[in-house]
A and B are shown apart, each in its own frame.
Chain A
């Protein structure tokens, strides 16, 4: 059962719709992340859940109760801000105790809970310090502790790691996931770092212009994007807009400008009527023209237009009669620019999207 639900929500700034007929359901104990390009409405969604923002239309249901008009301070949701938002005039102890004092906990209780949460975030011994005396990672852990200690029903993160350096980001996201799973807190996590979202989430929602294009577990999104936008966003850089698609038994036959291709029919793709083929640069094959025993199926002849050295591999832009393709290939020596080659689309690597 869903813990909370956003129902047909619309939000507009200056008469411009930022979210339109937005729907989202999240189950208890799950970590769901919102991923999408800058300006797509991730923060807006999060602020709406927190109650900082009022929807023009739609409902917010929490445990089947209408929470749409419940004010922020009555919601008991924890919010972790991108820039930590620690109170500069309070010590770490007092920062964390802030919510508990408002809840009129006893002194002994506050002491116990604060110490306990400091242990969870690995910050024992820091309680007397002030926010200005901590590193970025430590501040973020205090911010998490402060949100955790009130035992929130939902924990909301808005790009909590974007101010940290790369190593720390990886450590912190593991920490966040560990704490979230240990305590079983329902969490919504916003980021525009794909790897971060995929590594810590039960489910990822890919957003585009105020709409969720796909909501699935990370592995499904990674392998089976459903729309062109999602595919593009997660690295399927090559698209073929096929003229025709015919589904037969175990295969799908496709054609484009007189060239035909065959794909193995994957159970996942049955439901999709999409005619746009998407494939990652890593999954395309190229080889020299004139190779003996070349398989002619799903192949095109092409010419290397651009060659870029990426360190572990080379990246080529290959020109073919049905458009340009980006191909990554691990090899010691590159194909020359202008070289004629064969490009092959493996039967089981392309997905069809809307």
Chain B
């Protein structure tokens, strides 16, 4: 087959995406700027005046931010450890890392309910050793959502980071050592800066994933709405399609904004990486 006809292979996928994703997205965005009198941004203005909605947006951003930070803090050392292992052990550890991804988020959320619920394992243990007097309210709070999301996204950031860390030349670490760097200094002055690309990609994945996650917040958040459950409520329960579309557009906008901020940050941290 001639090379220039190869692009034909792209067509089926492209067609599918155009019909079922790109066109609907633009239609959705389009409808949010139209009211009875033609073009208008009134819908958005109303929205940002509404305390209830702004509160949900802020909570979602906060939850996503905490999830991302926790994933980085927990994932970074683990990823470094895995990246240093020999080939066979590394493969096993990576398999174990992504193992949780093989179960559905619904199942995992239910198991968290059992663990952190009012009569859950955590509360029972804490009560029995006398650390607390009445059960902690963890389930159905933003904390519960964060716990569930960290569980969900930790494997993702670890796998991304391992990929980047594996490619750090060991000679660089040796060079730093021979120049007088302790293990800690090697880690902070060489490993961390050179992991920035992986950190950025991993953080984007986690943040955007947390920001748009539905199942986990729906099950672990209880009455605590996040933006995706709010959208679902408007579209399906209340049949407010205009509102739902505006929420969806805001979600897209925030996502794009976050990605570009992170990219800018990465460029600053690692000007020539």
Residues of chain A whose beta carbon lies under 8 Å from any beta carbon of chain B:
50-52, 72-79, 81, 83, 85-89, 98-99, 102-103, 130-133, 146-147, 150
Contacts and interface: CB of A to CB of B under 8 A. Distances in A.
**Interface SS of chain B:** helix
Contacts of A79: 174-175, 178
Interface stretch (B25-33, B56-64, B182-190): B182-190
A83 B169 CA distance: 10
A95 B171 CA distance: 14
Contacts of B270: 89
Given A72-B178, A73-B180, A103-B180, A89 B272 contact: yes
Given A85-B171, A85-B172, A89-B194, A73 B178 contact: yes
The 10 closest A-B pairs by CB, nearest first: A99-B179, A85-B171, A130-B272, A85-B175, A79-B178, A102-B180, A72-B177, A89-B193, A81-B171, A73-B180
B94 interface: no
Contact of A98 (B176, B196, B273): B176
Interface of B: 169, 171-172, 174-182, 185, 189-190, 193-194, 196, 270-273
Contact of A87 (B178, B190, B271): B190
Nearest to A131: B272
A291 B169 CA distance: 65
A192 B235 CA distance: 73
Nearest to A79: B178
Contacts of A50: 174, 178
Nearest to A74: B180
A232 B270 CA distance: 51
Nearest to B171: A85
Contacts of B178: 50-52, 72-73, 75, 77-79, 147
Contacts of B177: 52, 72-73
A77 B172 CA distance: 16
Given A130-B272, A132-B272, A87 B180 contact: no
Contacts of A87: 172, 175-176, 190
Nearest to A81: B171
Nearest to A94: B189
Given A77-B178, A83-B169, A99-B179, 4 more contacts: A85-B175, A102-B181, A147-B178, A150-B180
18 contacts: A52-B178, A73-B179, A74-B180, A77-B178, A79-B178, A81-B171, A81-B175, A85-B175, A87-B172, A87-B176, A89-B270, A98-B181, A98-B189, A99-B179, A99-B180, A102-B179, A130-B272, A146-B179
